[in-house]
Structure 1
């Protein structure tokens, strides 16, 4: 949120997260913005101006082009500045109290009328233009999709990506995507399968956590009223970082993946109240290599170091161990059809070792074998 300290009225009007808060507020975003306002009271005036501009254009927003919105913002901000200057000049004159009060009221009414007229004139001009707009591609606009059913709802986006939206879930995005980034705002739970496009990163904003990908599949859980967000990766890589990160704006705009990097079978748990992220493994890791490349998981007198190496490649997980200690620890076991946790338990018991999960990796603790 620190990036908003230097925002102008125009910056706020164009900021997607600010617009989402104005048009679709939630208890989480209300708390986040209200806390930020209490810490930055000097921004209250700009935020109120931006809010008025957005609400004045809400009903017709899908029909207004980017240039036209800029024009409305420019005129409105100009009018506000002129009104503020006039009020300041009047305050230096010795004017009767009743007259001053009447003038302020009149100025407020005039400002509201002028704001409405500015917006109206843009809309009228839009309607009176010749059929040129019909020859061009339609402007992008925000749409909101809500799953009010008891089943998962499938959504296909303009870039070929898909979203499996869980019951009571809600997403908001541009249709079609606009600019150099593909952005989606999520409340609830959804599984994403993102079409690869290295030049246009895909970002999901959910309860203060930003997930950035170039092309992969992952699940996000960000329910209202729950003080944590989880991101689980099925394939590819994702980067996650918080909106409170001082470098969040840079990380959003850069095409590279920056932040906490998650690989297949890893997940992040973001605790909103503590502003803390914990990286670990998903509850049920899945095999990630193609079936044609899967090594048989039955071993006979195989060094434990080789077994752990095979297991790590099969699940795409880093398994850290001391190869020198385990090379002389043979293992004979059939591990087909077991969960990763069961496999690890059997191996560790057989070679007198133990394991723990740290930062999304499996760490093997061993003192070697007695045999």
Structure 2
């Protein structure tokens, strides 16, 4: 489990572990059972600088590497994947503003992330799901301001968000807008499918945009460039999603290993059975491989090379490994593993949810395959 040491600041990892152990772990089960957004914890993380770790210091950020950010996301997820999901939606809003927003918009919102601004990446619509090229939400330029109308659905972190990043169709094409929660005409409500069985950081909400008016500066980047901007941002967050899956896998592994080492059966511990040892040997190897894939993807972010490929590979592998490790933990722990008092059911639910959330395994495979096809055809060109 120590293959990160040569790549990250070990003191940083120890600090976030201590913070998570003291402030997150004790509430992890409560957050999951009652499905609420842990505002106090997320604000406390902001106070430590974790919410803006990679942000430019000019805007109050830490200016640290994505490799270090991957370590942060794994350690937070080890304590509570739900809390880590809150950080994902903050990173998504932060990154799209940092990459594409005009200077006025950057200065308005980016420094506030260091102060604890809560945000959500509101792309999904009820009729179109993952198809962000087809939208019912419309934006119209009225000469002095934008008018937005439409509805987003199943929005993660939306119950607490103070800023929404949304996609809307303009006459030029799909475009990105920054929408503050307190703007006139903005409201949220819980739809029919608000509560998921995993990654429970508050109910998913519907975001209603009813004749919302925004200044010209709240268009993020170029009009019509929204799909490219959104996909680029998702590539950054997918690497951190992979780190979250690695954290889930490690938590499940450690919990099961501890139980197996203490549980007595037939005059020995469960861990003394060779078959059980093989389970753990396989799981350890897979978790370390997933972590290396995550760090490869994080380094690709830092070096700005083949980001879509590496982030997709990391999430595909890590989410699968997390599900395998969580299933192993339940199996090894037997009756204890299936009780609601034990955390193993939560690990299993969280792991499975992340095979779908943030880009399903099938979408990730498509992305990787497209990279291979482009590479092959490119290499064969005269």
TM category, shorter: under 0.3
Q: TM-score, normalised by structure 1?
A: 0.23
* Larger strand percent: 1
* Larger helix percent: 2
Whose RCO is larger (CA < 8 A, sep 6+)? 2
